[in-house]
Amino acid sequence: MSGVASYQRASALLDVGRDAQAVETLRAALAETPDDAALLTLLCFALRRRRDLPGALAAAEAALAAEPGRPEAHVERAETLLALLRDGDARAAAEQAVRLAPNRPSGHLVLARALAAGRNFAEARAAAARGLALAPRSVEALLTVADVARDAGRRDEAEEAARTALRIDPDSEYGRWLLAMLDAERLRVRRSLRTLRDVARDNPGRPNVLSMTWPIRRLLSGLRRWLTVAVVLTCAAALIAVRFPPMLPPSRVMAAVFVLLAAGFSVRLLLPAGALPWRSLRLTPPLLRRSLYARMVTAAVQTGLLIGYAVSSTPLLTVIAVVLVPVQLLLGLTAAIGAHLDDPGHLHALRDIARQLREWRAELRRWWADTRRDLRDAWRDEP
């Protein structure tokens, strides 16, 4: 099969979601023509879809070695670097794609995402707008505009772009997910969960269980902030009341008010969500699931301690609640790590950090050995 025929066959397989067969087709063609930049670029795309990010990056770099001026290869390399959380390198690759093909929207769109990842929101929005101007009916361009606007905190703009994209392609999985997340950020709980459930039903092979647990995670994040402030303020007021008794009634009222606010927020999130987040929680990575359960228990204990102080006026209860604040923070960090343990980009970034630490330790050991030897030699030298 010729290179062109292989490329067309692999593209057709990717269009129907048969990514593994597309990769096999491309590898078989590349065995005969290993320097075909078009095949290597498409292989990068296919491997990135399969979340084989190191393999995708190697394919993109091989394509650029074969044809350095190929804009599509720079775009694919930028997309892969973004997935690997190498935002600076992704930006450089995207800028090169834009320089080589300024009239192609793909370079501007990946540049916008790279700029947004680096928190350069004004430049990111400008790049996304340029990409959209070059392809006004492109769903990818509209969703990039929505993504960048959402990252910049411009939710109205993001929602408008996402809805426009869905009017063009009502079945867009990412567009529907993005709209559900925008609803989540505005606490439109029932509508958000309904959309996420429909997306999961239409894509049973790729259910986004992490997204469907957002009411639980949002509740725990809110409670962490609420309870941290609540227990610290209540503890301070309780300790002041030990020396200044008139402060006792206000401190007990303060504890009760904080508990009522936390209960109201919990009801506001969990009742409209129904059972879906709890069913989805059972399918999340083990470390995330255990951390979330531990955070729930810790938050319940802190709330119980505040109730106990409001009823009994025992200051020690508020001190115990304060002691649990670092535990809650540590569990939150553990949950964040657990949420990304199955993400190749985060795993690759963690491996890079570990490798850099090992290299730094080896350099430090070499420096210390050299310094010790020099000091020993200097001590032995006779004047």
What is the C-alpha to C-alpha distance for residues 228 and 234, in angstroms, rounded to an integer? 10
pLDDT per residue as tens digits for the range 310-347: 998 898 999 999 999 999 989 888 887 777 665 555 55
Please report which confidence band the pLDDT of residue 296 belongs to, taking 50, 70 and 90 as the band edges. very high
pLDDT per residue as tens digits for the range 125-181: 999 999 999 999 999 999 999 999 998 889 999 999 999 999 999 988 889 999 999
pLDDT per residue as tens digits for the range 245-288: 888 888 899 899 999 998 999 999 899 988 989 998 888 888 88
Q: Which amino acid is at 213?
A: T
Give Cα separations from 164 to 121, 133, 140, 315, 334 (angstroms).
21, 14, 11, 56, 38
pLDDT per residue as tens digits for the range 72-98: 999 999 999 988 888 888 999 999 999
What is the C-alpha to C-alpha distance for residues 88 and 91, in angstroms, rounded to an integer? 5
Please give the angle made by the CA atoms of 22, 25 and 30, to the nearest 5 degrees: 125
User: Can you give the pLDDT at residue 287?
Assistant: 85
User: Can you give the pLDDT at residue 335?
Assistant: 84
Task: Provide the b/e sequence for 125-164 (b: ≥16 CB within 10 Å).
Answer: bbbbbbbbebbeebbbbbbbbbbbbbbbebeebbbebbeb
Tokens 């700029």 sit at which residue? 115
Please report which confidence band the pLDDT of residue 383 belongs to, taking 50, 70 and 90 as the band edges. very low
Q: Using the predicted structure, report yes or no on whether residue 186 has a pLDDT greater than 80.
A: yes
User: Can you give the pLDDT at residue 307?
Assistant: 93
Please report which confidence band the pLDDT of residue 55 belongs to, taking 50, 70 and 90 as the band edges. confident
pLDDT per residue as tens digits for the range 204-245: 766 678 888 989 988 988 888 888 888 999 989 988 988 888
What is the C-alpha to C-alpha distance for residues 141 and 380, in angstroms, rounded to an integer? 71
- DSSP at 370: H
The pLDDT of 12-35, averaged and rounded, is: 85
Q: Using the predicted structure, report yes or no on whether residue 302 has a pLDDT greater than 90.
A: yes
The pLDDT of 41-64, averaged and rounded, is: 88
CB 199 within 8 A of CB 208: yes
